[in-house]
Amino acid sequence: MEARHRRTAARPLELGALVAALALALSAAACGGGDPYAEAAPACSYVSSGTAIWKPDGLPDGTPPTAWQGSSSLKPECKAVLEKLLPFDGSWTDAPDGLKDRVMEAFQALLAYPLALPNENRIFGVAPWSYPLGFIVEIQRDETPMKSLFNHALSVVDTLHRVPSLGQKSAQWTPDDYVLLWNGVLTIADSFADLGQNPFFTTPIQRASILVHEAHHGDGYFHHPCGDERGWECDFDLNGPFGYAALYDVMALHGSASFLSDDDIRFLFAQACSKLKTRFNHLPPDLQATVDAISGCWDFSADDIAALEGLKR
């Protein structure tokens, strides 16, 4: 999830909406102005609480997340469309059973799960209007945020490559050209669908969040030094890839709360919370104070989160 690229290529591109708009225009031109969402949506726009996101017996309370073993939210008609649209290369011929399906599930979740901006663009009930302008530009490019993010992810990925391991990462976007950064290879490690060890990789909605993160590298955004043992695995502020992924998590809470289970709500909140607590050098002051006061991201009940976020359930 935490992509690391050659730092000699990193440039200070955090110029907000101007950079985002330019990146989106160039990536759209590179993919020929097509609309893969329109092709995939009729077969893939379905969601169901408790099966497509999280199973109760897979909560990270010490119980292994076994609920996803042998199950899939990917229907045959959706799989057929995504196999045609996604640029899998020859490296997938010897992939572990089910890995390719998990990748397609992530794109299906990116396409299907309803997203909505919180009231006043708040995060955890504070920091009004703190969503970066570049993010707002990106999600409003098309009729829905889901269409915008799905099409953008496909526009910056010209190859899906598989490797057994990327160390501690599950995915990594690498540009085809370090001068023109708008297209590249998304490398997927087997841990992207690690069902037996890391609970954060067991759900399509988490993998969709990873896709949002990696696709934003295609906009020319790279990570910054954290100033400690974490190395180059932080973002300067919410404009970076971790920021976009965290904002995606919050928007999924608000867009899908009416049908999500309590466990689903807790999961999405916890993954946004964990990013905000550990991956940023600068956050809006009231948001920083809020996340600093959180001792454990899993300590909140679904009712607590609904009250904090003002969710309509």
Estimate the crossing angle of helix 76-85 against helix 99-112, to 10 degrees. Answer: 90
In a domain, 54, yes or no: yes
How many percent of the chain have pLDDT more than 90? 54
Burial of 62 (0-12, 13-18, 19+ CB in 10 A): exposed
**pLDDT, tens digit, for every residue of 125-155?**
999 999 999 999 999 999 999 999 999 999 9
Estimate the crossing angle of helix 241-256 against helix 262-278, to 10 degrees. Answer: 160
Highest mean pLDDT among 41-55, 86-100, 253-267: 86-100
**pLDDT, tens digit, for every residue of 113-122?**
889 999 999 9
In a domain, 267, yes or no: yes
Full residue range of the structural domain in which residue 162 is found: 7-309
Question: Given this model, what pLDDT does residue 1 score?
Answer: 40
In a domain, 172, yes or no: yes
Residue 177: pLDDT band (50, 70, 90) is: confident
In a domain, 2, yes or no: no
**pLDDT, tens digit, for every residue of 183-202?**
899 999 988 876 445 554 45
pLDDT at 62 over 50: no
Residues 160, 97: Cα–Cα separation, whole Å:
17
Residue 258: pLDDT band (50, 70, 90) is: confident
In a domain, 152, yes or no: yes
The 3-state secondary structure of the chain, one letter per residue: CCCCCCHHHCCCCCCCHHHHHHHHHHHHHHCCCCCHHHHHHHHHCCCCCCCCCCCHHHCCCCCCCCCCCCCCCCCHHHHHHHHHHCCECHHHHHCCCCHHHHHHHHHHHHHHCCCCCCHHHCECCECCCCCCHHHHHHHCCCCCHHHHHHHHHHHHEEEEEEECCECCECEEEEECCCCCCCCEEEEEEHHHHCCCCCHHHCCHHHHHHHHHHHHHHCCCCCCECCCCCCCCCEECCCCCHHHHHHHHHHHHHHHHCCCCCHHHHHHHHHHHHHHHHHCECCCCHHHHHHHHCCCCCCCCCHHHHHHHHCCCC
pLDDT at 14 over 60: no
Q: Are 116 and 251 contacting, i.e. CB atoms less than 8 angstroms apart?
A: yes
Q: What is the mean pLDDT of residues 74-90?
A: 93
How many percent of the chain have pLDDT more than 70? 76
In a domain, 1, yes or no: no
* Beta-carbon count within 10 A of 10 CB: 15
pLDDT at 276 over 90: yes
Residues 157, 155: Cα–Cα separation, whole Å:
6
pLDDT at 26 over 60: no
**pLDDT, tens digit, for every residue of 285-296?**
999 999 999 999
Average pLDDT, the chain: 80
* Lowest-confidence region among 21-35, 57-71, 191-205: 57-71
Among residues 272, 133, 293, the alpha carbon closest in space to that of 212 is found at: 272
Residues in the chain, how many? 313
- Can you give the pTM of this predicted structure? 0.83
Q: What is the mean pLDDT of residues 215-234?
A: 89
Total domains in the chain come to 1
Question: Given this model, what pLDDT does residue 17 score?
Answer: 41
